[in-house]
Amino acid sequence: MITRPFKQVDVFTSKPYFGNPLAVVLDGTGLSDAEMQRFAAWTNLSETTFVLPPTPEAAAAGADYQVRIFTTAYEMPFAGHPTLGTCHAWLENGGVPKDQARIVQQCKVGLVAIQRAQHEGGRLAFAAPALQRKEPSEALWQALPGALGLTPQQLLAAQHLNNGPQHFGVLLDSVDAVLAVQPDLAHLQALMAQHGFSGLGVAARYDTATSAPLIARSNREARAFGARADAAPAEAEPDLEVRFFFDRGDGIGEDPITGSFNASLSQWLIAEGHVPSTYVAAQGTCIGREGRVHIAQDATGQVWVGGDVSTCVDGTVRL
């Protein structure tokens, strides 16, 4: 065992402990797959990452570093909050990218570009990987209301979404419906196994004529009446509310904030005209988090998925 630099960061939030935590081992050289998997299971976080030098081929193509991403049960080809969290930790640990405005990460899905806003502590945003999507079968569409505890009228549209991870997205008719979802966990797990997706997300747009949740209302009130100097920064008011349910390997759980799903969801919703090309998604509201995912499509059509990252633990680990 050797001592390796280590950080635990909170992703998609400017308020530490209100986002999605990630463990980052900043030097994974010499570790076997089994050792990485064992440590990821021990952290008991949704994901743990290990930073490695890029392969020669990836380095020649511009990669600054390589990342391996593990859940408690298996390795992932790509994931959003580990991408932003690892990049933040790598930069904070002294990593120097070839291009100061553009970091290139190698992972199992290929090379992922990450932009850094041009100011001190600028927000990071990754380029959403190419998306493959398709309509659900009639049988799956008919099964969804029962699995989600909703009426058929509350479901507006749905798609299989594949950007490395295979997910399924459902657009609902109201934010209230999103917040009220109480899935039949056994039914949902059976649908995932039958139709080949590892997670299912629901989303709905906020009606601009109605109030956002209490979190957003309190943010508006803080700005109107003045906030204490020591108060935590207010998160951005959302345009979209998102929830995501995934198979953890030991049952179905709800993810605090899911970058990969928001990446594929945004590409689908923007392409179909359900949302504008720039918006902010909230996730984690029902489980005490205040995640904010910043979506922007550039002039070339590339969708960028951004979020704030806070370092919560900084030290070393023996592995």
Catalytic residues: 47
| Token pair listed for 32 | 């076997």
Distance between CA atoms of 123 and 305, rounded to whole angstroms?
10
Amino acid (1-letter code) at residue 26: L
Quick one: how far is CA 257 from the chain centroid?
A: 5
Crossing angle between the packed helical segments 80-92 and 259-271, to the nearest 10 degrees? 120
DSSP 121-171: TPPEEEEPPP-EEEPPPHHHHHHHHHHHT--GGGEEEEEEEESSSEEEEEE
Of the CA atoms within 13 Å of residue 267, those in its CB half-sphere come to: 23
Residue that is written with structure tokens 């920064």 in the block? 233
Distance between CA atoms of 283 and 201, rounded to whole angstroms?
10
Amino acid (1-letter code) at residue 29: T
Burial class (CB in 10 A: 0-12, 13-18, 19+), 30: exposed
| Token pair listed for 164 | 């490395």
